[in-house]
Structures are given as C-alpha cells and as structure tokens.
C-alpha cells in the first residue's frame, strides 16, 4: 500500500515554493505573521547574485556597486507588536527591494552608475526637490542605504579604491571573516558581531602587518571551525517501555500523538517511509515515558493554533541532520543521519511552545532567549524555567558567579565562526536536554537511538558539546523539576502505554522491535 503525506498539508517546504522565482507581494496573502517573518526576506526577494561570474561580463566597479546596494538593504522587516503594521511594512519592503533589484541588475556600464539615485528615488516618487512623505512612510529605507545610493551616483571612485584594496572579487572566497583592530597601540584579530568586535586570538601583535599576515596564513590553512557530526550508526537499536510487534499506520501516528500532519521526501520508497514512521513512533513513546506525560502532549498543541508537524527528508537543507522550523512549527528529520537528533529538535519545539504561551514576538519566539510576558506562566513554572536557563550558563562557587563549564566549552566550539551558534542559549538548552533524555533512559535500562544518540563527549575528540559530570547531574535535576511544574501548570496526565500496543495484530515480518536493528545501508536512501 502506498504511504503518502498524511494529515494536514504542512506547506512551505523548499520543494514547493520560490525555487525558480523571486518572492512577490502576492505571496504575502498566504502567509501568517510568523511565516512572513521567516520567508519575506531580502534573500528571497532578490536572490544573491554570483558576483564573481558577473565580473566576467561586466566592469568590476559596476558589480561591486551592485553588491554594495544589495548589502545596504535590510535583511528583513523589523517586526512590531501590531500585526496590521507588520503586513503593511512587509508590502513596502517587497516593493522597495524589488525596485532596487531591478535597477541594480540592469546596470551595465560605469556611466549607468550616475543614474542610480534618479532611477531608485526620483522615478519612484521618493524624492522631488527634497525627500517626499513617501520615503518617511517606508521604515525599510535606512540612512545607510540612501548614503550608498548617493555615493554610487556621485562618488563611485571611492568604491573603486575599496574594491582594489580588498581584492574584489577574489575576497569573496575568503572563509575566515577576521579583521584587525587596534587597541592601545596593540593589534588584535577580531570577528565582527552585529554590535561589537570580538577578539578571537588572545595574542596581540606589534604591527598591523603582522596581524594581517597571521590572518592570511590562517586562510591558507583552511577553516578550523568545529563541525558537529554524530557517530555513524550501523543500525538503530531500541529497548523501551513497550514492545511494538506491528507496523504503525499514519492514522495511528496522528491519533496517538496529535500531530497535525506529516510529509515525506519525494524520493523515499514506501519501505523507507514505513521504517521512519515506526522509528519515530517508538521514539516519541519513549520520550513521553521519560517525561511522564500523556503521548498526545508530544505534539505540543497550542490553543487555537494547532499542533506540530513532522517531516522525514522532505524539508532538508545543506548538511543539517535535522532541524526545527519555527515559522511552520514542524520538525524535520533529514536522511538516516538524523537518527539521534529527534530529542534535540523536539526541545526547540518545546522552547517555542513556552514562548508562544508568553506571546513572544515572532522575531524572538524561543522562551530560553526571551520571555515577553512572564505573568503568562505560574510563579512556580517561571522559577524553575529561569533557574534552569541561568544554570546552563552560570554557576555559583562560594558566592562567586562564574561561567559554567558548559558555556566555556560551548564558546570554544564557536571559535572562528562568524556568528555564535553552539553557545547560544537555545542550542545549549537543546543539547543539555539530549543529555537528560539519554541519562533518563539509561536509568531505566532503556535505549532509544532514534530519539537520542551520541550524547557523550568521547565521540568528539577534544571538543565538548555536551555537559559533563556534576554539571550534567545538576542540569538533569532541573529538567526534571521543569517538567513536573509544566505538567502541573498545563494539567497534563501521566504517561500510559498507548492501547494500540495491545489492540494491533502482530505483523508477520517483524519479530521483535524492542531491539530492532536495520542496516544503515537500507536507511540511507532518502
């Protein structure tokens, strides 16, 4: 029997939209406020050009000015608490970025640069003999952008000097975004954050030339950025609170957990789809068991907003083994290397779920990062939640507040990265939960590798992405307290083994799935 996508259509997968065209104003009509914040962005409205290839057919100065114009535009619309205002601002954003895109991509000669200010601002009614009211009604037009437009039109030679100094377009291939900053006569190697410069090399240099030479040598060696990869499984093993001797139907999956829908990658065979449904079913039963919650809580249904969606190899991106899409509230497990990541992505969904209870803004949905309205939680739940989040980063030693070992090691993993990732609180929260899930299973003598796997620092050489020793034990206690209070606050029933285990007949081809091991080769075809 053919196994198809099930439940409600999740929508918004990369296989469905904006593959061959730019984002249009009309696309806004089909998106919620949260979805629009994710998809109504500069990179969708104006796909990033291949500047190096463009230099083959156009003057370098023209291509560099196109890049400068695009870079000066905001990446997305800054949200406000007013959803109506957000919709209008997004419409203006799409309209304005489209105008700039069309003007910029039609530049062919250095002579064309002189008309950029006219083509963008004058022709479209933003400037008459001075700025018109139209420009002030569009919050997306920033001084940074207007300054770049003016310089392109009036002083392009400034950009010619810059492109020569940095070696454009060869500079585009530099992997290490490091710069040299002077401080009190010493020179330091830093990386740029949004608001400040972070020193990434503890040693200082006597001259700028020495520091720049150091960066050059680092670039020649290539990137040393830590890349997380779980140890490869030859098969998936599970010993859980109940033995499944049947193949799970998609209807049973929806009924027991309450997910709103699920989808599969286009190239997944029926046998692969069935295996992932089986594995995921077992993993979520195991998760409900260790949290002592009714299985239908796992889908995190929100009042008036529906529950989570689940996808298997349908919404993958790059090398990620799994990811959670906040805008669509869907967990995606990509290929078999996603095995072991389910607990991590579910915790992101829970973090988002708590944030939605507190009515967090769409730009900061995760409660671990920010809580808008703490009065939406009970005092007891708020206390244990904040206590856990704080302890992930800081510890009290004899009255002195210090960084946790977990934070120190997480920051080491971010060395050389343009943006922090492993040391962000939402990622630390999710990795600490993985440790809690695995330790909780081990206490019962269980193993659930599709749910959680590889949560031991011995697999990552000298790197330590997971908490250890006493800190890990302390985090586990705080996670347990969190789920006790969350259950009390939301009135969640205790765990009970789903009746389907007793009511379904044994499938003749599966003998004992309490310890089901399928070869990795069978599972690597998504």
Residue 226: inside a domain? no
More confident residue, 235 or 394: 394
| 347 lies in the same domain as 370 | yes
Q: Structurally, how many domains does the chain consist of?
A: 3
> Which phi and psi angles does 180 have, rounded to 5°?
-105, 130
- Edge-first strand order for the sheet with 6-7 is 6-7, 261-264, 309-312, 330-333, 322-325
Let me know whether 493 and 427 are in one domain.
yes
Question: What percentage of the chain carries pLDDT values higher than 70?
Answer: 84
427 and 486 together in one domain: yes
What is the spatial distance between Cα 51 and Cα 44, in angstroms, rounded to a whole number? 17
Residue 526 lies inside a defined structural domain of this protein? no
What integer pLDDT is reported at residue 364 of this predicted model?
85
Are residues 492 and 461 part of one domain?
A: yes
Listed ranges 86-95, 232-241, 313-322, 413-422; the one with the highest mean pLDDT: 86-95
Single residue among 196, 221, 246 that ends a domain in this structure = 221
What's phi and psi for 162, nearest 5 deg? -65, -45
Residue 215 pLDDT exceeds 80: no
pLDDT at 6: 86
Helix (H) or strand (E) holding 323: strand 322-325
State residue 261 phi and psi, 5-degree precision: 180, 170
Point out the domain boundary residue: 221, 255, 289.
221
Dig out the tokens for 302 from the structure: 């929100």
- Predicted confidence band at 321 (pLDDT cuts at 50, 70, 90)? low
Complete DSSP assignment for 420-445:
--TTSHHHHHHHHHHHHHHHHHHHTT
- 410 & 287 share domain: yes
Distance CA 464, CA 414 (A): 12
User: Region 42-55: what's the mean pLDDT?
Assistant: 91
| Percentage of the chain lying above the pLDDT 90 cut | 52
Model-level pTM? 0.74
Least-confidence region, from 45-49, 302-306, 328-332:
302-306
Using DSSP's 3-state secondary structure scheme, residue 414 falls into coil
User: Is the sign of the CA dihedral 241, 302, 377, 348 positive or negative?
Assistant: positive
Q: Are residues 320 and 426 in the same domain?
A: yes
Q: Is there a contact between 91 and 28 (Cβ–Cβ < 8 Å)?
A: yes
Average pLDDT across the chain, whole number: 84
In a domain, 95, yes or no: yes
Report which of 380, 366, 411 is spatially closest to residue 393, judged by C-alpha positions. Answer: 411
- Per residue in 377-396, pLDDT (tens digit) is 999 999 999 999 999 999 98
Task: Look at residue 1 and tell me if it is in a domain.
Answer: no
DSSP 416: T
Q: What is the pLDDT of residues 187-200, one digit of tens each?
A: 887 765 544 566 66
Strands 309-312 and 261-264: parallel
For residue 39, CA distances in Å to 330, 402, 455 come to 15, 39, 33
Q: Is the dihedral of CA 269, 274, 277, 278 positive or negative?
A: negative
* Residue 43 near residue 76, CB atoms below 8 Å: no
Residue 406 sits in the same domain as residue 500: yes
Instruction: For residue 150, tell me if it sits in a domain.
Output: yes
pLDDT tens sequence across 114-132: 999 999 999 999 999 899 9
Domain boundary among 186, 221, 256: 221
Task: Classify 48 as helix, strand or coil.
Answer: coil
**Are 483 and 199 in contact, with CB atoms under 8 Å apart?**
no
Q: DSSP of 199-261, one letter per residue?
A: E--SS-BSSHHHHHHHHHHHHHH--------PPPPSS--EE-SS---SPPPHHHHHHHH--SE
Both 481 and 441 in one domain: the answer is yes
Q: What is the DSSP letter of 11?
A: -
At a CB cut-off of 8 Å and minimum separation 6, what does 11 contact? Answer: 328
Run of H or E residues at 100 = helix 83-105
- Torsions phi, psi for 457 (to 5 deg): -70, -10
Same domain, 272 and 378: yes
- Please choose, from the candidates 12, 38, 14, 145, the residue with its C-alpha nearest in 3D space to the C-alpha of residue 90: 38
Separation of alpha carbons 106 and 261, rounded Å: 44
Residues 6+ apart with CB under 8 A from 514: 238, 239, 240, 242, 243, 244
Both 380 and 253 in a single domain?
yes
Inform me whether the pLDDT recorded for 336 exceeds 90.
Answer: no
Q: Which of 156-160, 300-304, 345-349, 480-484 has the lowest mean pLDDT?
A: 300-304
CB 326 within 8 A of CB 11: no
Q: How far are the Cα atoms of 83, 121, 124, 256, 500 from residue 252, in angstroms, in the given order? A: 37, 58, 56, 6, 8
Mean pLDDT, residues 319-342: 79
Instruction: Flag whether 182 is in a domain.
Output: yes
Do 200 and 249 belong together in one domain?
no
Cα–Cα distance for residue pair 353/376, rounded to 1 Å: 12
* 132/206 same-domain check: no
Q: Comparing 19-28, 256-265, 480-489, 490-499, which segment has the lowest mean pLDDT?
A: 19-28
| Domain span at 264 | 238-515
Q: Averaged over 261-271, what is the pLDDT? A: 83
CA–centroid distance for 162 within its chain = 33
Asked if the structure places residue 16 within a domain, the reply is no
8-state DSSP, 194:
S
The average pLDDT across 43-66 equals: 92
The most confident of 356-365, 416-425, 483-492, by mean pLDDT = 483-492
Examine residue 22 and state whether it is found in any structural domain, yes or no: no
Which stretches of 75-185 are assigned E, i.e. beta strand?
178-183
């Amino acid at each position: 029997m053919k196994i198809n996508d099930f439940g409600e259509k999740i929508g918004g997968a990369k296989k469905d939209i904006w593959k061959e065209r730019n984002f249009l104003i009309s696309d806004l009509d089909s998106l919620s406020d949260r979805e629009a914040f994710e998809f109504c962005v500069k990179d969708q409205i104006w796909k990033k050009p291949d500047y190096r290839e463009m230099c083959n057919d156009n003057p370098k100065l023209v291509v560099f000015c196109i890049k400068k114009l695009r870079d000066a535009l905001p990446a997305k619309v800054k949200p406000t608490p007013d959803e109506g205002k957000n919709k209008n601002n997004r419409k203006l954003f799409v309209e304005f970025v489209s105008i700039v895109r069309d003007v910029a991509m039609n530049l062919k000669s250095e002579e064309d640069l002189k008309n950029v200010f006219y083509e963008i601002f004058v022709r479209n009614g933003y400037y008459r003999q001075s700025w018109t009211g139209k420009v002030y009604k569009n919050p997306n037009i920033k001084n940074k952008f207007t300054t770049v437009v003016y310089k392109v039109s009036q002083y392009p030679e400034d950009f010619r000097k810059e492109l020569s100094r940095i070696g454009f377009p060869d500079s585009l291939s530099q992997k290490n975004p490091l710069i040299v900053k002077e401080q009190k006569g010493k020179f330091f190697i830093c990386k740029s954050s949004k608001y400040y410069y972070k020193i990434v090399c503890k040693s200082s240099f006597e001259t700028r030339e020495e520091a720049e030479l150091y960066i050059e040598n680092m670039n020649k060696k290539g990137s040393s950025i830590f890349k997380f990869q779980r140890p490869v499984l030859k098969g998936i093993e599970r010993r859980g609170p109940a033995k499944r001797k049947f193949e799970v139907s998609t209807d049973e999956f929806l009924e027991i957990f309450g997910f709103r829908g699920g989808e599969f990658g286009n190239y997944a065979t029926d046998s692969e789809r069935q295996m992932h449904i089986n594995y995921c079913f077992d993993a979520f039963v195991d998760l409900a068991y260790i949290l002592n919650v009714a299985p239908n809580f796992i889908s995190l249904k929100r009042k008036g907003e529906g529950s989570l969606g689940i996808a298997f190899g349908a919404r993958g991106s790059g090398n990620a083994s799994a990811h959670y899409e906040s805008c669509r509230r869907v967990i995606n497990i990509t290929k078999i290397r996603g095995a072991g990541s389910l607990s991590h992505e579910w915790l992101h969904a829970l973090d988002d779920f708590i944030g939605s209870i507190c009515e967090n803004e769409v730009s900061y949905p995760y409660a671990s990062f920010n809580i808008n309205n703490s009065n939406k939680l009970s005092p007891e739940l708020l206390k244990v939640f904040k206590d856990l989040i704080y302890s992930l980063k800081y510890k009290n030693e004899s009255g002195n507040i210090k960084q946790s070992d977990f934070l120190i090691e997480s920051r080491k993993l971010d060395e050389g990265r343009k943006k922090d990732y492993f040391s962000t609180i939402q990622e630390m929260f999710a990795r600490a939960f993985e440790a809690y899930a695995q330790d909780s299973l081990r206490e019962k003598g269980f193993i659930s590798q599709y749910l959680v796997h590889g949560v031991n620092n011995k697999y990552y050489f000298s790197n330590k992405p997971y908490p250890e020793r006493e800190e890990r034990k302390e985090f586990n206690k705080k996670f347990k307290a969190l789920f006790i209070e969350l259950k009390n606050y939301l009135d969640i029933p205790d765990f009970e083994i789903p009746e389907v285990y007793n009511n379904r007949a044994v499938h003749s081809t599966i003998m004992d799935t309490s310890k089901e091991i399928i070869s990795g080769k069978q599972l690597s075809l998504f």
